[in-house]
Chain A
């Protein structure tokens, strides 16, 4: 099967601190993979490298076969991303923001307008499309972040704690959206919410101290460790209650 995300011996130093230590990971087309690990494990660093936000120290990362370090623009054209808790320009409206980002990705005219309407409906921001973002709550901004990630209908979604800041209803709706779009896309998804990962993903990669500890099917991990939670706790070395 075609591999849309390939991470080969990826290492990343922040000055002398080793955040990623020869990480290797391959995500096949249409797979939904959850990236789990404690705080500081290297999840965000991995996703940021894949999104071209930070440089790798050694190794290589490929998006749809394109080396992210060598051809970042080409690689980024294949992804939709939500990294950390992104902010938007407060004095623009969601429609203007999506129009800006869509045009940067080569979308135009009726096609862009139609798609903007679709994604705004999808994240339930129809009534807020022409309101300045400065009036938005954290959760509404997070919905807009989902909309911009899906706008250009990318084959790969890279999501870093995307449900952060959403209220319980928003979390449920968000999971439904990702679950639905995830049927036709490759989703690489970092989260602390094991339940969320289990609902959206069929595979998980567990990392700690920048190293890959396990990369397996959720069902197999549950079989081996009783539950995903037990697998996570056992692998990351935290004592079981």
Chain B
């Protein structure tokens, strides 16, 4: 039996695990709630939807972005859970290479997150069509960047999962890294006018920024044109995509290498 066939088996059953777990449906529900909050809350608070379809499209990316961050919960226990929960005593005694197991788990998580992202963008497209009668072409770019962001979030979380003793620790560390540490550094660099395209949180921002940059976004939602005490420069989307690709590849390779060396003592 080839490793590729084993990879297919691992991916299939790991995906089955995601389907069976409540967290997939919780994230699905949260994505829906986030989109509904924008669709219902915005006209109530701002006297109607923004005039510019790009602004509304950018605002609606909150749903898929949330789904992407939810990926942390799929990946947090992917490797650490096998050691912490002792399921590794069954799985690792099978004639399968660790690289195959980790890759299968990664692919299964990817499939689950992609389904959530597709669900989010389906709401975006339907909503824009219903309100404005068209869907901007940038939505496809935003979708692509969201997939890339999801891949990089998964890789980073897999890395934390491979080094952590417990699944909860891995999940918290990944969330702290992506949402807090990266976010704080991004804010500081942004205010200082320094480049910040290499941060993972910037990758998340690019999913909305692709619709026309931060200025357009601020102008669209702030009645007087978005007055901030400092200038905001939208990072280059190409560079941001490149940095996400690096997070994706490096995080994934490190997680494979580390989990291959871990012992189930």
Contact = CB atoms under 8 A, between A and B. Distances in A.
Nearest to A100: B13
B87 A87 contact: yes
Interface in A71-95: 72-77, 79, 81, 83-89, 91-92
A101 B90 contact: yes
A104 interface: yes
A129 B17 CA distance: 17
Interface stretch (A21-29, A45-53, A188-196): A45-53
Contacts of B264: 48, 53-54
A105 B13 contact: no
Contact of B95 (A54, A77, A84, A91): A77
B13 A85 contact: no
A76 B95 contact: yes
A106 interface: yes
Nearest to A50: B93
A104 B95 contact: yes
B58 to A, nearest CB: 37
B21 A76 contact: no
Contacts of B263: 53-55
Given A48-B264, A53-B264, A76-B95, A84 B17 contact: no
A105 B97 CA distance: 12
Contacts of B95: 72-77, 104-105
B6 interface: yes
B188 interface: no
A58 to B, nearest CB: 16
A145 interface: yes
B90 A103 contact: no
A103 B89 contact: no
Contacts of B90: 86-88, 101, 145, 148
B94 A83 contact: no
B20 interface: yes
Query: Chain A CB within 10 Å — which of B17, B94, B97, B264 has the most?
Result: B94
A91 B20 contact: yes
A193 B85 CA distance: 26
Nearest to A97: B90
A79 B21 CA distance: 31
Given A53-B263, A54-B263, A104-B6, A87 B86 contact: yes
Given A54-B263, A84-B86, A89 B17 contact: yes
A14 B265 contact: yes
A148 B6 CA distance: 17
Contacts of A79: 93
A73 B89 CA distance: 15
A173 interface: no
A229 interface: no
A53 B1 CA distance: 22
Contacts of A85: 86
A104 B16 contact: no
A105 B90 CA distance: 13
Contacts of A83: 89, 93
Interface string B1-18: 100001001100100110
B258 to A, nearest CB: 14
Contacts of B10: 104
Contacts of A74: 95
Nearest to A91: B20
Nearest to A73: B95
13 contacts: A48-B265, A51-B93, A53-B263, A54-B265, A76-B93, A76-B94, A83-B89, A86-B86, A91-B20, A92-B13, A92-B17, A100-B13, A104-B9
Interface of A: 14, 45, 48, 51-55, 72-77, 79, 81, 83-89, 91-92, 96, 99-101, 103-106, 132, 145, 148
